[in-house]
């Protein structure tokens, strides 16, 4: 029953985002602006390479954090697991990438499935906490524009309802089994580096939006890019399409226009930024597929399940 309630809430909010995206497309799609931005990106390979490297560095930092949390895992396995998760989340409408991430680590490094799953859950929660901090801080700074938007109220309500159901869903008895391990991490010297790596991973990811904004002449500071990126990625918990298509664009365009009401530029910026991340996910996905030929078999099993 709890799962059903959570799924209903997720779908309702997802449909709201998709409706927002359709409205934005009808009202603010500018083919020439979109073409010019994509042409600028292709004509500046060094600029595009810089963004590719910084986005990749974000995953390297997350792999480092995972390795520090789970010392028995190999760093290469952590990288492969994260890239596989990213790839799978961009080809399926629901987030099943973490299942592949857990499976790859457990099988390749012969670690207990439960221990690997715990590490992924804890690091995901840490990701959400960091994103929530950036998003909340930015929302406070831009409250004078955010609060005036009618759409913010159903989003806040949906977020509160979602949090309520998620908290009810948590199996506290399962968490108690790993309490000793978590306490050991918390009290060790590894905890601070883990947090620092996660924080800087999201800072690196915000570089992509910051650099893209320059190409479309959208006035955006790096702090603003960090806030918008955090809002956008946080909104991906309502993913119902491959890579969160439509949800990503709706949230990013909405956040960008809270800073400057340039809807056409914001819409184009959201589209191209997401396209860049799609291409990145496919490139690293092919890399992981080459390294792990059985990945596709695993993915088909997960999809069938």
In the chain the first and final C-alpha atoms are separated, in Å, by 19
Higher-pLDDT residue of 147, 164: 164
Indicate if the pLDDT at residue 172 is higher than 70: no
For residue 263, the model assigns a pLDDT of: 93
- Confidence class of residue 101 from pLDDT cuts 50, 70 and 90? very high
- Confidence class of residue 211 from pLDDT cuts 50, 70 and 90? very high
* Lowest-confidence segment of 86-90, 167-171, 255-259 by average pLDDT: 167-171
- Confidence class of residue 147 from pLDDT cuts 50, 70 and 90? very low
Q: What is the pLDDT of residues 39-70, one digit of tens each?
A: 888 898 898 999 999 999 999 999 999 999 99
- Is residue 106 within 8 A of residue 113, CB to CB? The reply is yes
Report CA-CA distances (Å) from 110 to 79, 131, 258: 16, 31, 48
Q: CA dihedral defined by 230, 122, 278, 303, rounded to 10 degrees?
A: -140
Place of tokens 């831009």: 142
Report CA-CA distances (Å) from 74 to 23, 68, 109: 46, 10, 7
* % residues pLDDT > 70 (the chain): 80
Q: What is the mean pLDDT of the chain?
A: 84
Residue 40 backbone phi and psi in degrees, to 5: -60, -40
For residue 1, the model assigns a pLDDT of: 46
Taking the whole predicted model, whether its pTM rises above 0.75 is answered as: yes
Indicate if the pLDDT at residue 91 is higher than 60: yes
Report CA-CA distances (Å) from 168 to 33, 160, 162, 174, 237: 46, 12, 10, 13, 17
Residue 151 backbone phi and psi in degrees, to 5: -70, -15
> Mean per-residue pLDDT for 272-287?
95
Count up the domains in the chain and report the number. Answer: 1
Indicate if the pLDDT at residue 148 is higher than 70: no
Within 13 Å, how many C-alpha atoms sit on residue 252's CB side? 30
Indicate if the pLDDT at residue 150 is higher than 50: no
- Confidence class of residue 301 from pLDDT cuts 50, 70 and 90? low
Q: What is the pLDDT of residues 110-135, one digit of tens each?
A: 999 988 998 998 899 889 889 988 98
Residue 158 backbone phi and psi in degrees, to 5: -60, -40
Range of the domain at 86: 2-304
Helices (H), 260-294: 263-291
Indicate if the pLDDT at residue 182 is higher than 70: no
Q: How many other CB atoms are there within 10 angstroms of residue 184's CB atom? A: 11
Enter the tokens of residue 81: 């697991």
């Amino acid at each position: 029953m709890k799962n059903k309630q959570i799924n209903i809430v997720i779908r309702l909010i997802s449909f709201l985002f998709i409706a927002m995206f359709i409205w934005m497309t009808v009202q603010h799609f500018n083919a020439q602006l979109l073409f010019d931005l994509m042409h600028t990106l292709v004509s500046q390979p060094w600029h595009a390479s810089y963004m590719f490297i910084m986005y990749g560095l974000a995953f390297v930092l997350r792999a480092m954090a995972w390795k520090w949390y789970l010392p028995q895992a190999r760093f290469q396995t952590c990288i492969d697991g994260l890239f596989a998760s990213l790839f799978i989340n961009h080809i399926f409408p629901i987030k099943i990438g973490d299942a592949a991430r857990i499976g790859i680590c457990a099988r390749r490094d012969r670690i207990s499935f439960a221990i690997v799953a715990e590490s992924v859950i804890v690091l995901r929660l840490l990701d959400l906490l960091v994103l929530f901090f950036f998003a909340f801080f930015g929302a406070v700074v831009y409250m004078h524009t955010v609060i005036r938007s009618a759409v913010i109220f159903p989003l806040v309500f949906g977020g509160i309802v979602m949090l309520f159901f998620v908290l009810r869903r948590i199996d506290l008895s399962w968490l108690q089994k790993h309490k000793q391990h978590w306490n050991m991490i918390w009290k060790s010297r590894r905890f601070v580096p883990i947090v620092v790596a996660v924080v800087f991973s999201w800072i690196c990811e915000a570089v992509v939006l910051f650099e893209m904004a320059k190409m479309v002449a959208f006035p955006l500071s790096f702090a603003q890019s960090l806030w918008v990126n955090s809002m956008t990625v946080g909104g991906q918990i309502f993913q119902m399409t491959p890579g969160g298509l439509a949800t990503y664009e709706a949230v990013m365009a909405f956040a960008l226009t809270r800073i400057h009401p340039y809807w056409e530029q914001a819409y184009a910026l959201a589209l191209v930024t997401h396209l860049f991340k799609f291409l990145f996910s496919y490139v690293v996905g092919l890399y992981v597929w080459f390294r792990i030929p059985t990945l596709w078999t695993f993915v088909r099993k997960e999809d069938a399940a």
